[in-house]
């Protein structure tokens, strides 16, 4: 490729990178976006509207599909026989876990990243999150307050289209919403039970289009979302930001280009990136005046830790020593599942309309007094069940033959179960670094994880199990069981913290605009800047903060801090 100098390079085309490249292209900058995997093609790569029994391996996938791959672990939910053969997920680049610790690193390498398949839950953070350290004395506040971020949440919601209602809840600031998703039959029963035990059950904030929005069609509730939407009826870079960036003609999009490190000039500022072309295995350099890293939280830290030079001996922009530290995640798991006997024998009408989070239980703990419970902060929960497209409850029933089949049908409308979303707290023992020995098949030093759940989130997990016992009683439901252990760390895909932002360059990697303290032309647009997860999910905030960061970046061009190419 001829050596061209761009105004900006954006690494990653997911929720963060896609938004950054759209804004920068629309502002007239020449942008080179670099994506580690291939371009996704919805009409070929999304295989929707089929039953698992129509698939060759009944949904379990070809048992030999990972033969010869460096990382052979299958990923959950998003990777299935429905996406097989499309080379969408990362199995060429391996990673390691420090013995005795664990992380399940699921990566989508195609353009658009994980938001091709995401769950779309999209709540705003609030000051209860940003000022949590003031309230309970743990850790540090975020370097922003709600009033300054709120307009960016509004911009993100207006752009993405988020369905919900105004709820006036103390932990969940309200936003601007499309009409809410219609509820399932089970939601009304759960809501009544939840009311009896004093737990809120309200429409989730869901980035799914309940009506046409900004030229995108309304959802027709086929329930196939986690296999990718063939209409573009929920926010994803594939249908939103990427075509809009391309329409400006200011975008050069490189695919199958795995960035290994940031290149620096003689003063230690960023001057471009080095990437490996996956098809030729050649290493290539691209140059720009400004660099935006949006490779998805831990991968952004991986690239930065691998960017060592005489100026940055421990990784670029790491004078604080905080790069790779403070790794956090949402603890996920099922604290209770069972069925609603009152629905036994009811007709099975498909009502799992969105395959998603129609309603949720937003944080209700520690609201009046930050230390009311045995744990600090709080968690949220989602309830699943009803007539899904596939009767997943078959595994909970015993038997065989025609009676077993009859029973599956009988119980079809009845199953109900919970998913807890509990934020971990930053801990000195949870971090990523570069494996001193292992390199991936492209010769790039691998990332190594050190992570264990902490006591605070495990107390939330125990608490949620008791809540489920109470809720099942209040709903008149019968409990079949609960997970013995929470899911593996990494499962939620809401990791944060490894490039945290802050006002003090000694304790944070970037300033409050996500511009690294040390390298003024290096910006970060993913959840790695968030110091910790909250009880809310990360993607709508990634989009909102990216809009805010790009505004500041463009302003820095206007002020002369950055020069055009
Ligand atoms: C099934 C599922 C359900 C989810 N549910 C929710 C939800 O309800 N709410 C919510 O908020 N979030 C949810 N998420 C998480 C959400 O998808 C992510 O938070 C979000 O997509 C992250 O966006 P990102 O741009 O930071 O990263 P990604 O989407 O991972 O994008 C990163 C991009 O960078 C590229 N890249 C990576 N490494 C390199 C490299 N070295 N060189 C070049 N390019 C690179 C990748 O190809 C990719 O395009 C869910 C995810 C899944 C899969
Ligand atoms: S339910 Fe709606 S958003 Fe989901 S795949 Fe179907 S049309 Fe798309």
Taking only the tens place, the pLDDT of each residue in 271-297 is 999 999 999 999 999 999 999 999 999
Cα 185 to ligand 2 centroid, rounded to whole Å: 19
Counting ligands in written order, the one closest to the CA of 209 is 2
Are the beta carbons of 478 and 472 closer than 8 angstroms? yes
- Please tell me the predicted confidence (pLDDT) of residue 292: 98
- Torsion angle defined by CA atoms of residues 209, 214, 217 and 222, in that order, rounded to the nearest 10 degrees: -20
Q: Which ligand neighbours the alpha carbon of 295 most closely?
A: 1
Q: 240 alpha carbon to ligand 1 midpoint, in Å? A: 15
Mean pLDDT of 421-427: 98
> How many percent of the chain have pLDDT more than 70?
98
Helix (H, G, I), strand (E, B) or coil at 463: helix
Q: What is the mean pLDDT of residues 196-221?
A: 96
Tokens, residue 74: 């299958």
Atom of ligand 2 nearest to the CA of 48: 5
Residue 516: name the closest of 364, 305, 292, 326 by CA: 292
**Beta carbon of 354 within 6 Å of any ligand 2 atom:** yes
With 90 as the cut, is the pLDDT of residue 50 above it? no
Comparing CA positions, the residue from 153, 257, 181 lying closest to residue 546 is 153
- Indicate whether 457 pLDDT > 80: yes
Atom of ligand 1 nearest to the CA of 525: 26
pLDDT mean across residues, the chain: 95
pLDDT for 368-381, tens place per residue?
999 999 999 999 99
Among the bound ligands, name the one nearest to the CA of residue 120: 1
Helix (H) or strand (E) holding 478: strand 478-481
Report the nearest atom of ligand 2 relative to the CA of 220. Answer: 7
CA of 419 to the centre of ligand 2 (A): 21
The strand pair at 415-423 and 431-439 is best described as unpaired
List the residue whose alpha carbon is closest to atom 26 of ligand 1. Answer: 296
Q: Is the pLDDT of residue 48 over 70?
A: yes
What value does the mean pLDDT take over residues 438-442?
Answer: 96
Q: Dump strand ranges (E) for 248-310.
A: 251-254, 257-264, 270-277, 283-293
* Residues 498, 301 contacting (CB under 8 angstroms): yes
Ligand in nearest proximity to the CA of 206? 1
SS percent in the chain: helix, strand, coil, step 5: 25, 20, 55
As a whole-number percent, the residues of the chain with pLDDT over 90 amount to 84
Other C-beta atoms closer than 10 Å to the C-beta of 28 total: 13
Q: What confidence category does residue 77 fall into, taking pLDDT thresholds of 50, 70 and 90? A: low
Ligand 1 atom with minimal separation from the 16 CA: 25
**How many angstroms separate the CA atoms of 263 and 526, rounded?**
20
Phi, psi of 557 (to 5 degrees): -65, -45
- Report strand pairing: 415-423 vs 337-339: antiparallel
pLDDT at res. 60:
84
Q: Is the pLDDT of residue 118 over 90?
A: yes
Q: Smallest Cα–Cα separation from 523: which of 113, 10, 32?
A: 10
Given a cut of 60, whether residue 102 has pLDDT beyond it is yes
Nearest to 384 by CA among 412, 362, 417: 417
Please, which contacts does 425-428 make with residues 24 or more away whose CB atoms are closer than 8 Å?
A: 425/138, 425/139, 425/328, 425/376, 425/377, 425/454, 425/456, 425/457, 425/532, 426/139, 426/325, 426/326, 426/327, 426/328, 426/497, 426/531, 426/532, 427/454, 428/325
What is the 376 CA–ligand 1 centroid distance (Å)? Answer: 28
User: Is the pLDDT confidence value at 71 over 60?
Assistant: yes
pLDDT for 191: 97
pLDDT band at 115 (very low <50, low <70, confident <90, very high): very high
What pLDDT is stored for residue 236 in this prediction? 97
Ligand 2 nearest atom to the CA of residue 221, by list position:
1
Instruction: Please give the pLDDT value at position 356.
Output: 62
> Is residue 542 over pLDDT 60?
yes
Is 33's C-beta closer than 6 angstroms to any atom of ligand 2? no
| Cα–ligand 2 centroid distance for 216 (angstroms) | 12
Q: Residue 38 burial (CB < 10 Å; 0-12/13-18/19+)?
A: middle
* pLDDT one-digit tens code per residue, 121-168: 999 999 999 999 999 999 999 999 999 999 999 999 999 999 999 999
Above 80 in pLDDT, residue 353?
no
Residue 85 banded pLDDT, cuts 50, 70, 90: confident
When pLDDT is averaged across residues 506-527 and rounded to a whole number, the result is: 98
- What does the pLDDT read at residue 355? 59
| Dihedral sign of CA atoms 274, 325, 449, 296 in order | negative
Number of Cβ atoms within 10 Å of the Cβ of 477: 26
How buried is 540 (Cβ within 10 angstroms: 0-12 exposed, 13-18 middle, 19+ buried)? buried
Predicted confidence at residue 82, as pLDDT, reads 83
């Amino acid at each position: 490729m001829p050596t061209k100098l761009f105004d900006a390079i954006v690494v990653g085309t997911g929720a963060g990178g896609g938004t950054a490249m759209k804004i920068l292209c629309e502002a007239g900058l020449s942008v080179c976006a670099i994506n580690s995997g291939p371009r996704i093609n919805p009409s070929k790569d999304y295989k929707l509207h089929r039953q698992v029994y129509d698939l060759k391996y009944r949904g379990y996938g070809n048992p030999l599909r990972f033969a010869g791959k460096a990382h052979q672990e299958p990923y959950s939910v998003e990777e299935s026989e429905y996406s097989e053969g499309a080379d969408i997920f990362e199995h060429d680049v391996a990673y390691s876990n420090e013995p005795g610790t664990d992380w399940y690193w699921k990566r989508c390498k195609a353009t658009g990243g994980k938001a091709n398949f995401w769950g779309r839950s999209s709540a705003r953070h609030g000051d209860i999150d940003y000022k949590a350290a003031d309230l309970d004395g743990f850790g540090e506040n975020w370097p922003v307050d709600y009033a300054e971020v709120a307009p960016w949440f509004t911009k993100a919601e207006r752009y993405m289209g988020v369905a919900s209602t105004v709820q006036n809840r103390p932990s969940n600031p309200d936003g601007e919403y499309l009409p809410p998703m219609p509820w399932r039959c089970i939601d009304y029963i759960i809501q009544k039970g939840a009311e009896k035990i004093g737990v809120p059950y309200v429409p989730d904030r869901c980035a799914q289009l309940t009506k046409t929005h900004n030229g995108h069609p309304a959802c027709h509730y086929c329930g196939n979302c986690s296999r990718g939407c063939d209409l573009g009826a929920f926010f994803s870079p594939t249908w939103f930001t990427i075509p809009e960036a391309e329409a400006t003609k200011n975008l050069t999009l490189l695919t199958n280009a795995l960035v290994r490190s940031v290149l620096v000039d003689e003063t230690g500022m960023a001057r471009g990136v080095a990437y490996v072309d996956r098809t030729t295995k050649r290493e290539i350099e691209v140059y720009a005046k400004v660099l935006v890293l949006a490779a998805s939280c831990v991968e952004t830290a991986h690239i930065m830790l691998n960017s060592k030079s005489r100026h940055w001996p421990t990784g670029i922009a790491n004078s604080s020593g905080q790069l790779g530290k403070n790794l956090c995640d949402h603890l996920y798991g099922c604290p209770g599942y069972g069925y609603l006997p009152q629905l036994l024998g009811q007709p099975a009408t498909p009502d799992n309309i969105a395959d998603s989070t129609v309603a949720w239980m937003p944080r209700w703990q520690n609201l009046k007094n930050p230390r009311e419970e045995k744990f600090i902060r709080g968690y949220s929960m989602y309830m699943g069940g009803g007539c899904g497209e596939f009767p997943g409850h078959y595994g909970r029933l015993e038997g065989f033959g025609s009676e077993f089949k009859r029973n599956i049908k009988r119980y079809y409308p009845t199953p109900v179960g919970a998913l807890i979303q509990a934020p971990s707290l930053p801990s000195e023992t949870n971090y990523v670094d570069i494996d001193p020995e292992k390199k991936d098949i492209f010769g790039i030093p691998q990332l190594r994880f050190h992570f264990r759940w902490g006591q605070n989130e495990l107390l939330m997990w125990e608490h949620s199990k008791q809540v489920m016992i109470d809720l099942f009683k209040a709903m008149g439901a019968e409990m079949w069981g609960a997970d013995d252990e929470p899911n593996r760390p990494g499962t939620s895909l809401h990791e944060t913290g490894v490039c945290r932002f802050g006002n003090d360059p000694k304790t944070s990697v970037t300033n409050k605009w996500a511009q690294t303290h040390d390298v003024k032309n290096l910006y970060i647009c993913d959840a790695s800047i968030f110091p910790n997860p909250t009880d809310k999910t990360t993607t709508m905030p990634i989009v909102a903060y990216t809009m805010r960061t790009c505004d500041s970046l463009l302003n820095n061009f206007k002020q002369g801090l950055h020069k055009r190419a």
